[in-house]
Structure 1
Amino acid sequence: MTKESSDLYPVARLAAAQEATAAAGLGALLLTPGPDLRYVTGYEALPLERLTCLVLPARGDAFLMVPRLELAAAEHSPASRLGIEFVPWEETDDPYTAVAARLGAVARVGLADRMWAMQSLRFRDALPGAEQVLAGTVLRGLRMRKSAAEVAALREAGAAIDAVHAQVPAFLKEGRTEREVGRDIAEAIIAAGHATVDFVIVGSGPNGASPHHELSDRVIRAGEPVVVDIGGRMPSGYCSDSTRVYSVGEPPAGFVKYYEVLQRAQEAACAAVRPGVPCEEIDAAAREVIAAEGYGEYFIHRTGHGIGLETHEEPYIVTGNAEPLAPGFAFSVEPGIYLPGAHGARIEDILVCTEDGGERVNHRPRELVVV
């Protein structure tokens, strides 16, 4: 394992998670494959119907329940550095009752937020006296505050997706379909260093007014704005996400007018980022600019979401979230304006809260790009 990986997934994180489990009054965390397990152990386990589960009691020794056929993969993963016991189970075993027997009586357990329902129900049967809660309530404080290594991973992801946006003007041509452009973008995401493509949104003309449109066979026409929102997962496990807007030829005058408003709104929200500021105030900073110009009803989503091992995670930059920003919080700032049946626009950067402000990890120009 490289030093960079060791810094991203430090051994001390296991103890920190165990302390948080005890502080939350839980008997144990049960972490199946997904971002919670990877965060604590560094192990990117395959999500299978066969149970792989880190059992992390509030007190006592953690162990990893793993199918026999996945044992070699687990032993070659970063989890091998943690000094925990790997407990392989055979095809005819019941791993849920085995976990319950080793864990003993517990009043409350935290289940991985992305645990499959079939697994959570099996645990309910195996531990009938245990209340089930989300492990995210325990891990959120740890996962929200990124370490220096995590911030470096997000910078790397930001640079990789910036490199893809630099190529987008060459893909956007009158007469091409959104799907054709999206295929080129997906190939570029991998070529730029991502391990996987998480999403590709190419919203041309009226499709740009649907924030999560993705792709269609619609042909891009001259004079149309195109919203391009793209992201992937790096080999580190950390995610990229960035939106820019392009126009194939000169866009309509009305679009140019509200795009300038959107630029000011995004800049205002980014400028408001600093420690101690409630998340909802970042949302308000963008929303007030847009509302003041008469476009408030067309800003139909929150201003941002946290990012890390998941594209969407806490903290959420939305009205009603009074969580104060702290150094290490990483999140998107992505206000949008969407005119149904006409067109839309969104500008998105990932920011990291620093000791005295906010650092953008995306650096492509935010002006409308006419191709």
Structure 2
Amino acid sequence: MTSRWTRAQDLARSRSVGALLITPGADLRYLTGYHAKPLERLTCLVVPADGDPVLVAPALERAAAEASGVEVEIATFGETDDPYALVGSLLPADAVVAVDNQMWAERVLAFQRRFADVRLAGPLLAELRMRKDPHEVAALRDAGAAIDRVHQRMGEWLRPGRTEREVGADIGRAILEEGHEQVDFVIVGSGPNGASPHHEVSDRVIQEGDPVVVDIGGTNAAGYCSDCTRNYLAGGTAPREYLDAYAVLEEAQQVQREHARPGVTAESVDAVGRQVLADAGLGDLFIHRTGHGIGTETHEEPYIVEGNELVLEPGMAFSIEPGVYLEGRYGARIEDIAVCTDDGLEVLNNTSRSLTVL
């Protein structure tokens, strides 16, 4: 982890930032390996642009921090001590500080009272986090294989007569059984519910012939996420309109996978698939971006969306997930996680992308 925070220091100096202040969340885990609990007591990694980082933590959390293997000094405070004063004692009063993007508002306000210039650290840390090293790619590969194994078992649970909620509960247990440390989300969108991209589960009973969108993901022990969407038919026969749209969607996602590689822009990956759908008269049914970066968070940089002129580089990992959604009738989405190699693309999800009839 040392190389990560030393690179963060280099970037901080280049942006005239005196220190990074990082509280529990993906940034802290990325920089230290510590998956700290987000408690009402302050835990904050202080990364000065020059000098050694210090983890400020409640005394009762020292053992947990040490057990995580953090490689920085730990400074603790007692129940009646002021942790913000402790952070302030580690930095000059006129320091320019950058706080993690997900820091709680009360903590941001407390640091604003202590430091004159408080900025966001997110843009700086995103430059580090969106370029995965070989160990991170291996962790993402492991997560992708684990979620593939869950999709391969879908026939155990998804069938007419069961509710989305019942199926979702079984999927959640399988996500843990197949190698994840936690369940991040389970979407089971049957029939018209599939037309809502972020529908989760409901008490709707799955009917024979229902197209079902299943989008699932979790986090493995290394702290890296999976995210994969496949589409199923719960017996019977799907409407011809749906089958025709699905064939175009498969083509669009394939075109995007074949296009994505180092040297092309993020927005171009979105554009090539969107054009396939538009040419078939389905462009208005693709209502979201093509993808998002993935790593220690399910959604992070880089975003695969119109307007993002970022040029893809080796180590960048992201989803490719075009979809079509016809409100009140059905939806479909095909999603893979992929990572740019030195000269191409490695796709980390490898189950069938075709409509699977159960």
Q: Give the TM-score, by structure 2 length.
A: 0.98
Q: Deviations over 1:43-95 (max 9, x none)?
A: 1111111011110111122211110000111112121xx2x321110110111
Pick one of 218, 221, 227 that aligns with 2:213: 227
Q: 2:68 aligns with which of 70, 77, 85?
A: 77
Letter of the structure 1 residue corresponding to residue 279 of structure 2: A
Q: Using the alignment, how far apart are the partners of 2:276 and 2:19 within structure 1?
A: 46
SS at match of 1:182: helix
Q: 1:364 aligns with which of 351, 355, 358?
A: 351
Which residue number in structure 2 is paired with residue 138 of structure 1? 124
Aligned to 2:153: 167
Choose the corresponding residue for 1:53, options 20, 23, 44: 44
1:36–1:113 CA contact under 8 A, matched in 2 = no
Counterpart position of 1:4:
none
Matched, 1:322 2:313: no
**319, 330, 341: which one pairs with 1:343?**
330
SS in 2 for 1:78: coil
Q: Which amino acid aligns with 2:103?
A: M
Identify the residue that residue 110 of structure 1 maps to in structure 2.
98
For the residue of structure 1 that corresponds to 2:256, the secondary structure is: helix
The answer on whether the counterparts of 2:278 and 2:284 sit within 8 Å (CA) in structure 1 is yes
Shift in Å at residue 356 of structure 1? 1.2
Q: How does 1:263-278 map to 2 (within 5 A)?
A: 263-278=250-265
Of 278, 282, 294, the residue aligned with 1:307 is 294
1:216-271 Cα offsets, whole Å, 9 max, x none, are 00000011100000000001100000000000122111100000000000000111
| TM superposition shift of 1:141 | 1.2
Query: What residue ranges of structure 2 are gaps of 5+ in the alignment?
Result: none
Q: What count of residue pairs does the alignment treat as equivalent?
A: 357
Whether 2:201 is the aligned partner of 1:215: answer yes
Letter of the structure 1 residue corresponding to residue 94 of structure 2:
V
How far is 1:107 from its partner? 4.4
1:258 aligned to 245, 250, 260, which one? 245
Distance (whole Å) between structure 1 residues aligned to residue 251 and residue 96 of structure 2: 48
1:293 and 1:25 map into 2 onto residues whose CA distance is 50
1:116-147 Cα deviation digits (max 9, x unpaired): 111111111122x12x2221111111101000
Aligned partner letter, 2:276 = V
The answer to whether 1:281 aligns with 2:272 is: no
**Alignment match, 2:16:** 25
Maintained 8 Å contact 2:126/2:301 = yes
| Aligned residues: CA RMSD | 0.9
Whole-angstrom distance in 2 between the partners of 1:13 and 1:273: 27
How far residue 101 of structure 1 moved from its aligned partner, in angstroms, is 2.2
Q: Deviation per CA, 1:169-228, whole angstroms, max 9, x where unpaired?
A: 221111110000000100100000101000000000000000000000000001110000
SS at match of 1:103: coil
Q: Distance in 1 between matches of 2:160 and 2:66?
A: 52
The answer (yes or no) to whether the contact 1:27–1:106 under 8 Å persists in 2 is: no
> What TM-score does the superposition give when structure 1 sets the normalisation length?
0.95
Matched, 1:14 2:5: yes
Contact 1:169–1:246 under 8 Å retained in 2: no
Letter aligned with residue 51 of structure 2: G
Q: Which amino acid aligns with 2:311?
A: P
Q: Kindly provide the CA deviation profile for residues 271-315 of structure 1, in whole angstroms up to 9, marking residues without a partner as x.
A: 111111110000001100000000000000000000000000000
- SS in structure 1 at match of 2:90: helix
How far, CA to CA, are the matches of 1:77 and 1:175 in structure 2?
45
2-structure distance, mates of 1:197, 1:148: 24
How is 1:191-202 mapped onto 2 (pairs within 5 angstroms)? 191-202=177-188
Amino-acid identity (%): 57
Gapped runs of 5+ residues in structure 1? Answer: 1-9
| AA at the equivalent of 2:100 | A
Question: 2-side partners of 1:44 and 1:50: how far apart?
Answer: 15
State the match for 1:92 in structure 2.
Answer: 80
